[in-house]
Amino acid sequence: MAENSAAHKNTDNPGAVLHPGRAADPAPEAPESPTPATGSDDYPSGPAQPAEVEDVSEPAGDESGEESGEEADHDSEELEKSLAQSQQRKLRLLLRQCDRVMLMDFNLLSMSDWPDNFSMAAARRNRDLWIFSALVAASVFLSGLTGYVPAWLAGGGLGAFVIILLLGVPFIRRVYTDNPSYMDLVFKRQQLLRDARKHAAHLEGKEGLAWQCLRMADYNPTLRHRRFRPLTQLSEHRALTGWLTRRDRIRLYLIFMLEAEKAYNRAQEDFFAGHQKAIDRGWPSVAAETREPVAGEEPESAQDETEVEATPESERAEPSSKAT
């Protein structure tokens, strides 16, 4: 009986204690609804609505995140596109300014047929011997005129003098020897220097080429070497051709042009790689070969107008007659 009474007291007591000193929270009251509940009492239909709202709100957040990600990708792509376009424009302008470096003639600037010092010394020795022989023969002849030597010896001196002079004539000299004379070697050196300077002037043009090729130093740092500094400064002031008066200076100019040609080839490869990348990425504005007007050159529209003005009136009237 005592156990039954204790169990009865526990079931009748509504304030069950979870922790010592604190009563349990009261059970929430079920909301009253006019319609009878179809489900069980433990799972009412009312509290299920907030879960549906949460399910609807979650896809909206995902869509906004996707849109922001797409916008960020689009902005980064536009930035990359603008950078590629500016880089291609810079390379195109650089290649256009330095394209004359590909017209360089190595044989003219290298002067491979330049007479060496040994040949010049041998020719100078032969020239001195020829002059000395002619002077001896002339002195013998003059001595015969004054009576210091016999007449037959003076006559022999005159004949020897004439023969020695004839041996110095170029077309007679080629009969008995193939070695060039000292004057031939001197003229050959001067001609090679003249041709090299003329070719350098053609490469430099009116604007100068060496100082413009210095802008390609990013593709070949050798162009910034200090030994090329006077060369580029004179090219910038359009005075380089007058400075190329010796062979060593022309050789220095040749070395600079060879280094500039290497830089030009590397810049050209970079330009073509960027062009191919623009085609692969689908950037027609970057890949398009837009031709920028060069200084001193009329734009295409002006050229078209001049061509239209240059056409005779009879040719202009032909399309209108055909249309009628």
Which 8-state DSSP code applies to residue 245? -
Domain range list for the chain: 114-281
Q: For residue 206, give the nearest of 307, 294, 310, 308 by alpha carbon.
A: 294
Q: For residue 154, give the nearest of 136, 166, 165, 142 by alpha carbon.
A: 142
pLDDT (0 to 100) of residue 264: 94
Instruction: Provide the whole-model pTM.
Output: 0.62
pLDDT (0 to 100) of residue 2: 45
* Structural contact between residues 216 and 90, judged by C-beta atoms closer than 8 angstroms: no
pLDDT (0 to 100) of residue 169: 87
pLDDT (0 to 100) of residue 271: 86
> Which regions in the chain score pLDDT beneath 50?
1-4, 6-12, 14-17, 33-58, 290-324
Q: Give the whole-angstrom CA distance, residue 84 versus residue 76.
A: 12
pLDDT (0 to 100) of residue 53: 44
Question: 10 Å Cβ neighbour count for 212?
Answer: 20
